[in-house]
Amino acid sequence: MNLIYLTGTYPILTTTFIDREIKMLRQWGVDLKIVAIRRPPADMPLSKDQKELQQGVIYLLPVAWMNLIASHLYFAFLRPRRYFQSLIFLMTRSHPSLKARIKTLLHFGEGVYAAYLVRKHQFREFHAHFVDRAATVALVAGRLLGKPYSLSIHAGADIYVNPVLLREKITEARRAVTCSLYNKTHLEALIGQDLSHKISYIHHGLDLNEYQPSPPSSNGKPLILSVGQLARRKGFAQLIKGCRGLKDQGYEFNCQIVGQGPQREELDELVSQLSLEDTVTLLGAIPHDEVIERYRQATMFVLPCIQTDEGDVDGIPNVICEAMAMQLPVISTSVSAIPEILEHKVNGLLLPPDDNQALVRAMAHLLDEPALRAQLGGNGRQSMIETFDIERNVRRFATTLWPEWFHQ
């Protein structure tokens, strides 16, 4: 039971679902090595678990140039047919832009390097998380070493914004899983029904022992919490504008947004423009155990996701599942796969995307109705117990990909 996991930057705060998956597989006896393209930024506040998982990770970048050159010479001379056929295959496929084609060439180089670094390891197959760069690395390394690869396909830029060589990667993969029915349906629309038999959808899992709610505190102002990468698809600008509307109606509260990302400067400026410095705080990135503590302090969790003009959209944001597991009442939007887990007025509130008035009404309604908060929070946690248990879902994941190793 030997695997090599391939992924992009690892570990990072936004992919704790991969951490949980790896820990569970190792707990079941899988000899799992991790190859990551990049290290996390030096200032990223990793949790204790993530620091432990980072031990032993093989990194492709920053590159050791002599080893990189050696890797290409090694395969060009010892396995020239596989090396040049893989290069020609990738470079002759259709790409959306010259930039995308150049990236594919770079990822080919990384795939050769990855194959060289793990060539002496005994393992069954590669498993790539994300179908963009990691899948290209898996395709190349798998061809050079004569090993199969499987895929975990996610949302966002992975499949919704100019995906590259999507059909080719899934065609060559032995099996693929994605984390929502919405993603599976979208993939089938992109690549055709003839490959649908290769793709299964399985929700991620949560270790519910890690997410233990505490009784809500009545001290101080109510706290509206949101967590995620500071990217447009998360709807943080909509949340900040909603906070302005809520405050204009006379409500007193605090709002904390946890996360870092490309929209940070824009969101800081919006908070200033709307004179919300005393109400909305952008906390930046914090370790995951501290995020869990923020859940315990919160009155509600709000993530008003949108689909951007470029098509960027989330699948099922894991932070919504975490908040529900922490028995928080959740407000989100009917975007992408979120309705697969959030049912309006049953285990949360589901709103139209980018509707400021609806968002303000929903937040005000929860602030006014503690009994409703308790009802939605309790139902939300029960939903997670029923559908997101880590052991059950990773068992389904493993059984789907490696049925000869695992059974239900």
What predicted TM-score, i.e. pTM, was given to this entire model?
A: 0.92
Q: Using alpha carbons only, how large is the chain's radius of gyration in Å? A: 22
Per-residue pLDDT at 315 exceeds 80 = yes
Per-residue confidence band for 169, with pLDDT thresholds at 50, 70 and 90:
very high
Determine the residue type at 376: L
Per-residue pLDDT at 408 exceeds 70 = no
Alpha carbon 50 to its chain centroid, in Å, reads 15
Structure tokens at 344: 């309006």
- CA 5/CA 32 separation, integer angstroms: 7
Beta carbons within 8 Å of 256's beta carbon, 6+ residues apart = 223, 224, 225, 226, 280, 281, 283, 294, 298
Classified as helix, coil or strand, 33 is strand
| Strands in 97-241 per DSSP E | 125-129, 149-153, 176-178, 199-201, 223-227
What confidence tens digit (pLDDT) does each residue in 249-306 have?
999 999 999 999 999 999 999 999 999 999 999 999 999 999 999 999 999 999 999 9
What confidence tens digit (pLDDT) does each residue in 211-248 have?
999 877 667 899 999 999 999 999 999 999 999 999 99
* Cα separation values, 274 from 151, 232, 278, Å: 44, 18, 11
What confidence tens digit (pLDDT) does each residue in 181-194 have?
999 999 999 999 99
Mean pLDDT of the chain, nearest integer: 95
Per-residue pLDDT at 135 exceeds 60 = yes
- The rounded percent of the chain whose pLDDT value lies above 70 is 99
pLDDT at 214 (0 to 100) = 84
